[in-house]
Structure 1
Amino acid sequence: MHSPIKRWGWFALGWLMVALGFIGAVLPVMPTTIFLILAAACFSHSSPRLEAWLLDHRWFGPSIRRWRERGAIPRKAKIVAIVSMAGGYGVMLYTVRPVWWVDLLVALALIACALYVATRPDG
């Protein structure tokens, strides 16, 4: 186990990730699963009990376990994620109207993220 300070840091970061994950479960523009995957990773360094709670959770546990075992994302989740990225980009273009280089940077970042998601194994 880590030093007490590191352990508490991982513990606090884990709870922050859980909070962000639950906010993402309510808000359609924010992801859920990635924050809970990160929370489980944080809890693996600080609280095996809370890590087990996430891994055994009825709704979120299977996704976290699939990711840990195979780096897999279900096909439906991939589609939702990529469509959400495209939709968010469209909303940004329509509402913010950024300068061209910000637009390009955001587009490149989203394309990289979409490619990463698309190339993960189907879960």
Structure 2
Amino acid sequence: MRIFWVSLGFLAFGLGLAGILLPLVPTTPFMLLAAACFAKSSPRLHDWLVSHPSFGPAIRNWRHHRAIAPRAKRLSVIAMAAAFAISVILGIGWQILAVQAAVLVVMGLWIWTRPDGPTQP
């Protein structure tokens, strides 16, 4: 099972890295998944990821407060709106657009209703 969790962790980490460059691929959820997988398989990789200066704060904020920073919320909603706009521009069928819109609205509301977490001094 350790190999499975490490492999899944690296896959999630890779997808998270792709999200840095690709605007419609989310980074933080994949980093959260990578941290969870590494916690089950490799304490060294888990500790590295959680203490990473770029990825660690969002992971710790979620782990300790179940919170999403306001900036991350805004970027998430913007990315969802952009994804929907691209679907409209591409002429995707209305049935698929309706399902996509419903899912994006539900996820956007879920993200927006999470706590902001502790304020920075």
Answer yes or no: is 1:99 the counterpart of 2:93.
Answer: yes
| Aligned mate of 1:30, from 9, 12, 25 | 25
2:74 match: 79
Deviation at 1:15, TM superposition (A): 0.4
In the alignment, the residues of structure 2 paired with residue 102 and residue 26 of structure 1 have an alpha-carbon distance, to the nearest angstrom, of 26
In the alignment, the residues of structure 1 paired with residue 31 and residue 108 of structure 2 have an alpha-carbon distance, to the nearest angstrom, of 19
Give the secondary-structure state (helix, strand or coil) at the position aligned to 1:28.
Answer: coil
Deviation at 1:26, TM superposition (A): 1.5
TM-score normalised over the length of structure 1: 0.91
**Residue by residue, what CA displacement relative to the aligned partner does 1:43-78 show, whole Å, maximum 9, x if unpaired?**
111001100001100111011000011111111110
In the alignment, the residues of structure 1 paired with residue 20 and residue 56 of structure 2 have an alpha-carbon distance, to the nearest angstrom, of 14
In the alignment, the residues of structure 1 paired with residue 32 and residue 109 of structure 2 have an alpha-carbon distance, to the nearest angstrom, of 19
1:115 match: 109
Deviation >3 Å, runs of 4+: none
* Identity across matched positions, percent: 43
Deviation at 1:17, TM superposition (A): 0.5
Deviation at 1:29, TM superposition (A): 1.9
CA RMSD of aligned residues (A): 0.9
What are the residue-to-residue correspondences of 1:3-18 with 2, within 5 Å?
Answer: 6-18=1-13
In the alignment, the residues of structure 2 paired with residue 59 and residue 93 of structure 1 have an alpha-carbon distance, to the nearest angstrom, of 33
In the alignment, the residues of structure 2 paired with residue 10 and residue 62 of structure 1 have an alpha-carbon distance, to the nearest angstrom, of 22
